[in-house]
Each structure stands twice: as structure tokens, then as C-alpha cells.
Amino acid sequence: MASNGVVGITPLGSNLWAFSPSRDSEGGSAWLLRTAGARSVLVDVPLLEESHLAFLEQQPAGWILLSHRQGHGRCRRLQERLGWPVVVQEQEAYLLPTVPDRQTFEEHRQLEPGLRLLWTPGPTPGSCCLHWAQHDRNVLFSGRLLWPRSDGGVELRQTASTFHGPRQLRSLERLRTWLGDGQPAQIACAAGLGPLHGAKLVERGATALQQALVRAAAINR
């Protein structure tokens, strides 16, 4: 599917686009959202095809947010092209020594009202999640903390690159508390997307999140 004729970019309702999985990010998917303040947030680095770069150059200036180290991709080249600052949790800032405009955070950060970041280590040391509650959208960008299931839910998953399994569970518990009851409406995962793996946006996000927590807690008893 395409956005404005660009193959590999899919519009998902108002102010949100999904990029197809990128080999530069170990098969991860990037997301672009437009904030209530008319800024762009690019969550992780997509495949840097010229058509993708041209599409991004047409968007309002904003931030490049790195939700996990596998999502860095070719971050320096992307920033050189767009000129947007890179937001990264401080545990992984050292991986970007040549990126000039880095903005780091510790536990959490608010980019705008209704646009909040939370440090969720486990998949990688500096993994983070973004909650977007603006316009008519209520979406959690979960990085690789949560993976889509074929039944429409989400789950914790340990892979060969997982930093710390028990911390993943603690981060999920903390995330649930931080979000509050009934949040989010949808979940956008950074990996495992595609017709054989799971929907691009997981619906009934609050229920899916709670079910993931129950499953993970049972496995780790």
C-alpha cells in the first residue's frame, strides 16, 4: 500500500502513517505521526529509500524518536537530510556519538501535552514507549516491548537480542500503571508487523495490554 503514491508508507487514519519493515532496523517498522502542535514525530528509522526521504521532507519539522537500539537504522544520514533533533533515552545515547543534535531523557519526558515518553528497559537498555493522546487518537507506540499476536492481542517476547527478560515484565507493569485505566485505545508495535504476524494497529489496546500482563506474569511465576 502507498501514501500519496509512495510504496511502503501506509496512512492509518488521521495524522498517522506506518512504514514497511526495514532491513536496516532488523525488520522493524517506523511510524510517523503529526502532533496537535503541528510537529512531526518519526518513531524509529525507516528504510532510507529516496521516496521515503522525499515524503518525510514534505512533513512539518519535528523529532526523530528512537524507541530501541534496533530502531536506530541509519539515523545519522536521516538526520542530516531532515535536520530534526534525535530523542533517545540516555542509556543508548552513546550509540550515536556522531549525531550532533541529540536530546536525552531519564525516566520520562513530555514532548507536548498529550505526547509522553516512558523509559521501559528490557528489550534493550534504553527502550522507551510513547503515548500519543491528541486529536482523536489514543495510541501507544510500544517499541519492541510488545509484539503483535495473530489473534489481535500483544505479548512480551524474548529474542536473541533481548537485553533482560525480567526487566521487560517490570517495565510492562510500570507502563500499565503510568498509562492509567482504559488506556490506550490502540497499540503500534515496532516489529512483527505484516499479514502473517499481526495487524499494524492493535485495537482495544487497554484490554490487549492487560491480557499481555496476565500472560507474562503467569509465565514468570
pLDDT for the residue numbered 187: 97
Residue 11 pLDDT exceeds 60: yes
Q: pTM for this one?
A: 0.93
pLDDT for the residue numbered 4: 58
Cβ-count burial 167-182 (b if 16+ within 10 Å, e if not): bbbebbebbbebbeee
Query: What is the tens place of the pLDDT at every residue in 26-59?
Result: 778 999 999 999 999 999 999 999 999 999 999 9
Protein fold of 2-219: Metallo-beta-lactamase; Chain A (3.60.15)
Contacts of 8 (CB under 8 A, 6+ apart): 2, 19, 20, 46, 47, 49, 51, 52
Length of the chain: 221
Amino acid in position 125? P
pLDDT for the residue numbered 173: 96
Query: What is the tens place of the pLDDT at every residue in 39-48?
Result: 999 999 999 9
Would you kindly state where each structural domain of the chain is located, as residue ranges?
A: 2-219
Which of 20-24, 130-134, 160-164, 197-201 is the most confident on average? 130-134
Query: What is the tens place of the pLDDT at every residue in 73-92?
Result: 789 999 999 999 999 999 99
Confirm if 171 and 145 have CB atoms less than 8 A apart. yes
